[in-house]
Structure 1
Amino acid sequence: MLSNSARTTIKKSAHKARTDTEILHQIIDESLIAHIAITEESGPVVIPMLAWRVGEKVYVHGANNSRLMRNLGKGNMTCLTFTLFDGWVLARSAFHHSAHYRSAVVFGQFEQIEQRNEKDQLLNHFIEQIAPGRCEDIRLSNNKELDATMLLAISLSEASVKVSSNEVADDDADLDVRAWAGFIPYKTVVGPLKASSTLDEGIEEPDYSPAYAKRWAEL
């Protein structure tokens, strides 16, 4: 069950709110992109970042000299948003056109992961999440690379979720309008793999499709 705080209470379209932690996890795991808010002297800034989940925490990484990482590394309050667009809703009236989507908002403060071994494991976890088994084939990060990278974690203890998947919401008075009504589904397709131009001949193509289930492209 998700937290229930003043910031996570959904007031607009409250019927779209979801409280199941599993839905929150699914949105984060499928999106892997967080839009993160910081406030600077010049004003607010929202920056998209790669983000991944391990248990009840979300992780982001970047260079030590990144303005975003420096800001978040100080423990400043922030907000992360994740959005998955699932399609358009076409109604009989212009007013009721809408969209299907799944979104999550996470509130809190980041903390730094300082210990090299833990940092290495968490960064490798992200690689394994997007390409299972890859860490067995590649050169892993060395100490210099790990020391140049800042890794931050934020708890999922304060989060909200909205899911829009409703039927076309035409007014009764518009049901006689002779216009097609329905949905334009929108799906993200992953793959197939495309080899680098620098790849040596004879290297077998790996299979990363298990990480993406039905989203993996069918040849």
Structure 2
Amino acid sequence: MSQTETSTSYPTSARNQVKRRHDRGFYDHDTVHRILDSSMLCHVSYAIDGQPYCTPTFFWRQGTKLYWHGSSASRMLRNQSRGERVCLTVAHLDSLVLARCGFNHSADYRAVMAFGTAYLVTDPDEKERAVIAMVDRFFPDRTAGLRQSTTQEIKATSFIAMEIEEASAKIRSKGVADDDEDYALPIYAERIPVRTVLGAPEPCPRLLDGVSRPATLNGYSEGRLLEDALRDAYFLEYPNG
């Protein structure tokens, strides 16, 4: 365990340490995991023969391990199956900040960068758990009531996993922050909150008579923040975090 690592935080190094505005950097598991668990979309960066790529994909966390999936034929999965170094990022935009000068215009945000070595999930038991988790992590207990995936469907889907070796969160939440002398200027400034809010569910028009929305989806109700629904779903599926 490194000098800056504890049992509840990720180690810091030149790779993951926040270089600018150290006060915005966090390395503890609670902060990093909270930001990760509030999202289902990430971006995975990697290089193939010196050419950088960045792929958006759905992901989920189990402990200090991250999983994502895709087509078995995708370039991303074929490359990462060899044990490639990757960087996975997640970001939440919380507000737009309009200041009294262009330099101080900004945004409030929460972001995570996680580093590790990706590997293709080949163990049958781990892959079986991943097939269930890619649905139940977001919609707890849903898989049990679905048509079972066919052998061909499972074969066409691959999973990549990565133990988080290093990670950092960066958070800005201060709103308007002008230079002291600029507050005396007759210039309008404001903070515009940004939220992703769930709309009213739209049932499939081809539902059979008598098929109703299950109570397990109550967390995804109109007016809720998406990140709250995702975080609640995570703890329903993984009550121990």
Check whether TM > 0.5: yes
User: 1:60 and 1:24 mapped to 2: Cα distance?
Assistant: 17
The aligned residue for residue 4 of structure 2 is: none
Cα distance, 1:42 vs structure 2? 7.2
- TM-score, normalising length from structure 1? 0.90
User: 2:87 and 2:27 mapped to 1: Cα distance?
Assistant: 18
2:67 to 53, 56, 59: 59
Q: Is contact 1:168-1:181 (8 Å) kept?
A: yes
The aligned residue for residue 78 of structure 2 is: 70
User: 1:82 and 1:64 mapped to 2: Cα distance?
Assistant: 23
Q: Is contact 2:117-2:162 (8 Å) kept?
A: yes
Q: Secondary structure at the match of 2:38?
A: helix
- Report how many residues are paired: 217
Cα distance, 1:211 vs structure 2? 6.4
CA RMSD of aligned residues (A): 2.1
Q: Is contact 2:44-2:56 (8 Å) kept?
A: yes
Tell me, yes or no, if structure 1 residue 215 matches structure 2 residue 225: yes
User: Cα 1:183–1:17, aligned 2, differ >3 Å: closer, same or farther?
Assistant: same
User: 2:119 and 2:150 mapped to 1: Cα distance?
Assistant: 22
Q: How does 1:78-117 map to 2 (within 5 A)?
A: 78-117=86-125
Tell me, yes or no, if structure 1 residue 204 matches structure 2 residue 182: no
The aligned residue for residue 135 of structure 2 is: 127
- TM-score, normalising length from structure 2? 0.82
Tell me, yes or no, if structure 1 residue 47 matches structure 2 residue 36: no
User: 2:148 and 2:36 mapped to 1: Cα distance?
Assistant: 25
Q: Is contact 1:129-1:211 (8 Å) kept?
A: no
1:137 to 136, 145, 150: 145
Q: Is contact 1:61-1:151 (8 Å) kept?
A: yes
Tell me, yes or no, if structure 1 residue 148 matches structure 2 residue 156: yes
Cα distance, 1:120 vs structure 2? 2.0
Identity of aligned residues (%): 32
Cα distance, 1:34 vs structure 2? 1.4
Structure 1 unmatched ranges of 5 or more: none
